[in-house]
């Protein structure tokens, strides 16, 4: 068992550490096939923690299970096996209605293609998210100011550049300040400059507000913004590299090749499999 895996989950419904936002233990997702025995494990034996204030980047080739794992973390897919605790709640065993409410209240999503409502202005798109979280839609301007788009509040999505649309999408995700943000390929539709801009905003949310951010990406440049990088292949987590360590309240970059296991870097074993 590797160092980041959960020790027995003795306290059901409560994270092992006070700053743990997501905690999984041997999480798996199986898709049955048409014929007996022809199914596929999209994710298997995924054990990890995601901490408040960290950007965790999940990388791997297409078909490695990254998006499936992200969807389970966000309550969009129900695990086939294992344990999943988000904000201290056993999301893996919740019914669909509870998972839907949980997504609305606790998670901000950022999508590759922005998924803004075309008929609504930037402010109205953010206002919808606020309303769903029980907040005043009038607060939308404050979140647009946070991403530098207060002057575009009345613009429709098709009047904005790709980078501006992604910033509106980030403002929508952080509206109401959910404890976690899940981003699926947030830089894929952006050029290099706007990709850095989007990741810089997500990093600022994590480091300044204590939001837990999980990013799925193929973009190697996103590594530069990560506190921790998880590599995935064939449905399994293979390596965790922690790029920064918190010492006396300040982040310190870890040099490559430290060889420290679990929190810093190391090969993940499939203990017990």
The 10s digit of each residue's pLDDT in 109-139 is 999 889 999 999 999 999 999 999 999 999 9
Q: What is the per-residue pLDDT for 37? A: 80
Whole-model pTM: value is 0.81
Q: What is the per-residue pLDDT for 253? A: 58
Structural domain count, the chain: 1
Q: What is the per-residue pLDDT for 168? A: 96
Cα–Cα distance between 80 and 181 in angstroms, integer? Answer: 23
Q: Where are the beta strands (DSSP E) in 52-176?
A: 55-59, 81-86, 89-90, 107-110
Give the pLDDT band (50/70/90) at residue 34: confident
Q: What is the CA radius of gyration of the chain?
A: 19
Q: Is residue 117 part of a domain?
A: yes
Q: Is residue 159 part of a domain?
A: yes
Q: Is residue 14 part of a domain?
A: no
Q: What is the per-residue pLDDT for 244? A: 57
**Residue 151 near residue 192 (C-beta atoms within 8 A):** no
Cα–Cα distance between 150 and 141 in angstroms, integer? Answer: 6
Mean per-residue pLDDT for 62-77?
94
Q: Is residue 272 part of a domain?
A: no
Q: Is residue 8 part of a domain?
A: no
CATH label of the domain that carries residue 132: 3.40.50.300
Q: What is the per-residue pLDDT for 243? A: 62
Q: What is the per-residue pLDDT for 266? A: 35
Q: Is residue 87 part of a domain?
A: yes
Residue ranges making up the domain that contains 74:
20-267
Q: Is residue 213 part of a domain?
A: yes
Q: Is residue 44 part of a domain?
A: yes
Q: Which residue has the tokens 């998972």?
A: 99
Q: Which residue has the tokens 């006396």?
A: 248
Q: Which residues of 123-149 are buried (b: 16+ CB within 10 A; e: fewer)?
A: bbbbbbbbeeeeeebeebbebbebbeb
């Amino acid at each position: 068992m590797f160092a980041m895996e959960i020790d027995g989950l003795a306290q059901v419904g409560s994270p092992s550490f006070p700053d743990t936002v997501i905690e999984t233990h041997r999480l798996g997702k199986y898709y049955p096939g048409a014929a007996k025995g022809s199914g596929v494990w999209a994710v298997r034996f995924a054990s990890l923690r995601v901490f408040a204030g960290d950007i965790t980047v999940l990388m791997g080739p297409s078909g490695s299970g990254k998006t499936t794992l992200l969807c389970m973390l966000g309550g969009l897919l129900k695990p086939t096996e294992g344990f999943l605790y988000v904000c201290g709640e056993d999301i893996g065993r919740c019914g669909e209605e509870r998972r839907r409410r949980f997504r609305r209240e606790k998670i901000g999503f950022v999508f590759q293609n922005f998924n803004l409502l075309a008929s609504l202005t930037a402010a109205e798109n953010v206002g919808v998210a606020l309303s769903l979280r029980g907040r005043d839609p009038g607060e939308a301007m404050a979140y647009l100011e946070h991403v530098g788009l207060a002057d575009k509040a009345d613009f429709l999505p098709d009047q904005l550049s790709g980078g501006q649309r992604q910033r509106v999408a980030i403002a929508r995700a952080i509206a109401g300040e959910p404890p976690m943000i899940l981003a699926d390929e947030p830089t894929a539709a952006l050029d290099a400059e706007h990709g850095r801009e989007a990741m810089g905003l997500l990093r600022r949310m994590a480091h300044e507000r204590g939001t837990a951010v999980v990013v799925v990406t193929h973009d190697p440049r996103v590594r530069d913004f990560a506190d921790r990088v998880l590599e995935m292949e064939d449905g399994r987590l293979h390596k965790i590299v922690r790029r920064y360590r918190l010492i006396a309240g300040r982040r310190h970059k870890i040099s490559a090749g430290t060889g420290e296991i679990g929190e810093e870097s190391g090969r993940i074993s499939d203990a017990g499999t």
